[in-house]
């Protein structure tokens, strides 16, 4: 596995997002299966693991801590604060809450320090300077090594970076979600902030994992996402057929096409796909060895983009919790 810079760290160019092992996509997998994903990723060369306090209401941090704890010196550990109560998605960015959440996360993870600690969402009731100031105190206390932000705009990133250097900014980025291209990617390059792409295979859709809505569990939060509903879903299925044809042209799987596209878009970008399947995990990690021609890159971007994907990425209620730039023509909520 090739590596990339993540602030003071050197990590595998593809990390592992651990959310789906505990949260959001239906019931968690059996413990043995979750362990196989985590340990298999480590064996495949992954050295960057991403979790959060909200995933499974602490379940994910405990899982990651218990399974990967004996190998702590082999990977960079990221977690998040500021978003709690599971599906209610309560935002709270008050300094005292962020500090208390960090103490709880340290205990669940079984570690003395977290390498990269994100503000999961910006709570607009609290100035970003105050929330980042609290995280800066945690750095000074040796409880976290660096600070990250998730789902914030370029302007908010700059305000935060003026308080304390930001190591990474994390948001959704894939061929079918292109909002970071508006301003955030440029701001990250300007400030020397690593960009971490979550949901890099379109929440499984671009990997061909959701061709029938009946496959989604009632507790799967994709059920509430406009791209997985009604006419938009049918239009996106037609788009998926064309996307899969490009993957065949490139000699890789659709998931690998997404990841290779991201890796070639920006040499400082780090995608963190997630999965509950050991086989899919190995497929994702193997994308590090996929090289796409200029023709394939151009064909992909002409086929899947903001103009061809049907439906916004979030419902209005979920979109209200993020601070990201809108694409031209995208409705404000």
Q: Catalytic residues, which ones?
A: 55
Greatest distance between any 2 Cα atoms in the chain: 53
Q: In 3-state terms, what secondary structure has residue 117?
A: strand
First and final C-alpha spacing in the chain: 41
By CB neighbour count within 10 A (0-12 exposed, 13-18 middle, 19+ buried), where does 218 fall? Answer: exposed
CA-nearest of 199, 192, 262, 186 to 19 is 199
d(Cα 125, Cα 77) in Å, to the nearest integer? 29
Residue in the block written with tokens 């997998």: 29
Q: Are 168 and 118 in contact (CB under 8 A)?
A: yes
Tokens of 175: 């061929």
Question: Beta 16-17 vs 269-272: how paired, if at all?
Answer: unpaired
Contacts of 224 (CB under 8 A, 6+ apart): 315, 318
Residue in the block written with tokens 């908010």: 156
């Amino acid at each position: 596995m090739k590596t990339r810079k993540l602030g003071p760290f050197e990590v595998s160019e593809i990390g592992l997002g651990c959310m789906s092992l505990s949260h959001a996509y239906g019931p968690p997998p059996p413990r043995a299966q979750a362990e196989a994903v985590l340990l298999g990723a480590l064996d495949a060369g992954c050295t960057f693991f991403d979790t959060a306090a909200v995933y499974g209401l602490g379940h994910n941090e405990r899982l990651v801590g218990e399974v990967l704890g004996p190998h702590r010196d082999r990977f960079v550990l990221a977690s998040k604060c500021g978003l709690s109560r599971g599906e209610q998605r309560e935002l709270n960015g008050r300094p005292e809450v962020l500090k208390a959440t960090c103490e709880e996360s340290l205990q669940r993870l079984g570690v003395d320090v977290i390498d990269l600690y994100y503000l999961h969402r910006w709570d607009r009731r609290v100035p970003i300077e105050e929330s980042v100031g609290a995280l800066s105190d945690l750095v000074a206390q040796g409880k976290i090594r660096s600070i990250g932000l998730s789902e914030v705009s370029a302007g908010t990133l700059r305000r935060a970076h003026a308080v304390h250097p930001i190591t990474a900014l994390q948001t959704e980025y894939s061929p079918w979600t292109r909002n970071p291209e508006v301003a955030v990617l440029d701001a990250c390059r300007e400030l020397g902030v690593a960009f971490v792409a979550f949901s890099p295979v379109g929440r499984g859709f671009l990997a061909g994992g959701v061709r029938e809505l009946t496959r989604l569990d009632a507790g799967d939060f994709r059920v509430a996402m406009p791209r997985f509903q009604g006419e938009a879903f049918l239009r996106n299925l037609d788009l998926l057929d064309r996307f899969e044809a490009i993957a065949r042209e490139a000699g890789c799987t659709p998931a690998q096409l997404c990841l290779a596209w991201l890796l070639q878009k920006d040499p400082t970008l780090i995608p963190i796909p997630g999965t509950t399947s050991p086989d899919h995990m190995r497929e994702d990690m193997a994308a590090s060895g996929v090289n796409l021609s200029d023709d394939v890159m151009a064909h992909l971007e002409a086929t899947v983009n903001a103009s061809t994907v049907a439906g916004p990425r979030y419902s209005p209620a979920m979109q209200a919790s993020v601070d990201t730039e809108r694409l031209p023509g995208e409705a404000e909520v």
